[in-house]
Structure 1
Amino acid sequence: MNEDPAVPRPVILGIDDLRPLPRATRIARTSREGIQLLQEHHDSFIDELWLDHDLGGDDSIMPVVTVMEEAAFSGRPFHIGTIFVHSANPIGAETVVRALTRWNYQVRRTTA
């Protein structure tokens, strides 16, 4: 099956230290890589963003969430269709959902 080059491929980004996220077009494994990935896409539409709370060791998704909150506060939020929070950490996941929902991002808690 040939894909039509005129139809843009969805941009699906994932930030997760372990999961393969097979639908993702790009994956970051640390919060630092996640921030860089988001900054690369700041001026374009992201169809889906998949976030895991715990990223190994002392790393978490919270630095990424802070960047997203600051962008919304400054009037330049990231343009994201849906953010999926798929963490096995229920308290961390709820913290992410609440923080991003407060800034009018469309967020859903789900499993990956």
Structure 2
Amino acid sequence: MNGDLPVPTPVVLGIDDLRRLPRATRIARTSGEGIRLLREYRDRFVDELWLDHDLGGDDTILPVVTLLEEAAFHGHPFRIGTIFVHSANPIGAETVVRSLTRWNYRVQRATAQ
């Protein structure tokens, strides 16, 4: 035994109604599932969070964004390395980026495969 500690698997969460997100360790397909997923990881560090704006029908990522904003407002933001916003809706994506950046989350626009 060489005494090396195992390297933990990065936690990569995705909220997207259609994309596979091959790097994701867990995927939620609706905003409600996304909120439940984030609450499940509330006290853990999330390396990456991938967000799509439009989630099918009238569902959008905005309830998830509200959850993240409220946590930061109350002084207990989610511990997330980087939030990637990958949406075909440029106005919606920019809204998400601006909203979360305002609360000091590290946010980037990205292209999802």
Give the TM interval when normalised to the shorter protein: over 0.9
Once the two structures are TM-superposed, the CA of residue 5 in structure 1 deviates from its matched residue by: 7.3
Unaligned runs of 5+ in 2: none
Give the match for residue 106 of structure 2.
106
1:42-91 per-residue CA deviation (whole Å, 9 max, x = no partner) reads 10100000000000000000000000000000011000000000000000
Letter in structure 2 aligned against 1:66: T
Classify 1:24/1:5 alpha carbon distance in 2 versus 1 (closer, same or farther; 3 Å).
farther
Q: How does 1:11-50 map to 2 (within 5 A)?
A: 11-50=11-50
Letter in structure 2 aligned against 1:36: R
TM-score when scaled to structure 2? 0.94
Once the two structures are TM-superposed, the CA of residue 111 in structure 1 deviates from its matched residue by: 0.5
Letter in structure 2 aligned against 1:103: W
Runs of 4+ in 1 over 3 A off after TM superposition: none
Give the Cα separation in 2 of the matches to 1:37 and 1:86: 18
Give the Cα separation in 1 of the matches to 2:30 and 2:51: 11
1:3-55 per-residue CA deviation (whole Å, 9 max, x = no partner) reads x8721100000000000000000000000000000001110100000000000
Classify 1:7/1:88 alpha carbon distance in 2 versus 1 (closer, same or farther; 3 Å).
same
SS class of match (2:54): coil
Give the match for residue 91 of structure 2.
91
The two structures, once aligned, show a CA RMSD in angstroms of 1.1
Unaligned runs of 5+ in 1: none
